[in-house]
Chains A and B, each alone.
Chain A
Amino acid sequence: MKGEIIDIAEKTARRAEDLGADQVEVYMASSRSFSIDVENNAIKGASDKRDAGCGIRSVIGKSTGFAYVTTVLEADLIEAAEKSVKLAKASIEDPDFVSLPSSQSSYPKVEGLVDPAIQKLGSEDAADLIVRGVDAAQAALENHESAVEAKFSASTGLTVIVNSLGISSSAESTSTWMYVSPTIKDDEDQTSSYEFQLSRALKEIDPEWIGRSSAENALSNLGAKTVESGDMPLVLTPLAASAIIGGGFAGAINAEEVQYGRSYISDAFGEEIASEELYIVDDALLPGGVGSRPFDAEGVRAQKTEVLENGVLKSLLHNSYTANKDGVENTGNASRPSYSGVPSISASNFVVAPGKGSLEDVLSEVGKGVLCRFTGDRPNMATGDLSAMIMEGSYFENGEIQHSVKNTLVGINMRDLLRRVEMVGGDTRVALAIISPSIVISSAKITSG
């Protein structure tokens, strides 16, 4: 299968060259994913999806065109190659474009990217796993009217990148996740919560923990109240840090956004922009990491990059275009949504170094403030202004949680937020966009009403 796909990719690249492309890159991906859905405490459906497609980037001079198709059939690939060349001819050249990446001496060996247990997983085994998660949630909610939604998914994939400058790379990977979300109703009150785990290895998924934790989170959301508005300490759990720091800071150090002057961090490179408590690396080589890989989405070798050390911004995240434009080392952060897009830039595993203590320890150290467990917001990337609703969170006093909050918003500029990090917990976990412990911000504007 792998050899066959590399052959097709190389043949397609030659076809685009014949049509007039100076440089060509062919990105092919195939995947199979199996998932099961639970609605109102019981399995409702399953899906078995196989996807294979191809994206072709053609360069003529300093102009680029891109086309993709959702098949790997020869006729479709030829049509895509023709379109990508046509688009390159029609494009307005980019004076800052230098070249596609050239051949790499070697790729690092990254452990734990493929789990044979996921490749072999049957639908019955998958159903057993999700039922265990749902049962655990229901057991923890036995005195409440509840409806549990859940999803389990397991995927295997193959990525092949070939370019006319000698890059020829292929990698297999697996991933799996489980999500459990109970809605509970009491007499006058209705609320919900969720919990999930995301991993490259099946054995890392703990259905009982996911189910039980989702139920505990939902119970703690009952009885939500508003709080008195004002400036107070803010504790971000890893899930909240994922949106605010994983989305709002990792996005700000995207070299393309900085080069265009679109980021609030644009004027701050090399400066002390954050508290010394915050140490962040982007680590694509982390064994078994959900963002780990031997090469990025352009076939450039992946690496570990120091982002923030002693409060100083050490490096931006680059792909080949931005690194060539700035004349700096490529950090291997090219990313793309499978075969269906051109490379942009994103973090691999954005890792916040842990400090000490559980969340309880952190709250008792801080004393009084607002705990944000989850928000869907992210800052305005140009100004850094963050105005975020606390989707799930609590007010705490004397280190003890008093009640959950509703209609409550946090306002703070990201530059202030980064400087006001006064403590980092030891409760590290994998969230969607970050691997982080809880983070304490000394003061933020809380509005509630």
Chain B
Amino acid sequence: MKPTKLRWILFVLTIAGSAAVTAPQSAAQDTDKPAAAQASPAAAAPEGDYVGTEVCVTCHADQQKSFVHTIMGNAMAHPRTELDKLGCEACHGPGKAHVEAGGGKDTIPVRFTKDSTTPVEERNAACLSCHTKGNQMFWRGSPHESRAMACVDCHRVHYGSPAQRYAELASVDSRYGTPLTEHVGTKLPQPELCLQCHQMRRAQLQRSSHMPYREGKVTCTSCHNPHGSPNPSQLLQSSINENCISCHTERRGPFLWEHPPVMENCVNCHEPHGSSNPQLLKVRMPRVCDSCHDSSRHPTQPQPLGSIKNFNRGCTNCHSSIHGSNHPSGNAFLR
């Protein structure tokens, strides 16, 4: 075959291949609308368009090196599904056109880097082709999905090895501790990762009254699922109280004498992300109690500064069982 003909054939194949893989992509490129049932490019592509990981690594040895010891790299090295067996192309799409074009970013069906032109929903679809269970089950329709966030906005796949990444993350930011986790594929450790966008929470974590977030004993995902949950505020549990009570189980009750605002919503009185007031209170005592209790005598007094209702534990100097009492004489939460 003459070289000219070969070039023409490669050219035609490249164009056809590129068109095949970019047609659906360009149609969606004008928006980043989340797809309700987007199939991954890999799963959707004809079988003949795959070249295999062995071909990819002939040029992309560095990428291979940064992937092979990751959790995904190891999982794909022991494939259980057809998708696993596709290796690089399971996420990046079929590589035939890319190979035939002799390389080039534009011929990679799905790219995840910062300069990627692949629409978010296609990038996410590549992840969701496997990650459909567990924490990711409610990704569709979640607030982060609705705001066209890509999985790779938070996650990194080519991170070397868990140990390397662990060491890197530990030195990224020494301002916050982070609980031990096997998930090292995030771009930053928690809570720093979440605080990049949720800056108000960053401010609240600095408060004098706080749960052990800064110390790395509790973190954002201790209460929230950023991938979406059917519950309010993407909480892990069905309600705010169930969330709080999952750690503070002693306050679950049922109690003989219950304080209804407590049983209905802990955040009626507390600010879980941090407060300048003692005990994470939204407003310090006695005003937090005065807000509701307008009966007679001492609950209705403004209270001078030196009052026992004011200093130390405030109202709970006496009404210490305020979260509920099981004492037969505990109707005023004194016992």
Are these two chains actual partners, yes or no?
Answer: no
Residues of B within 8 A of A (CB): none
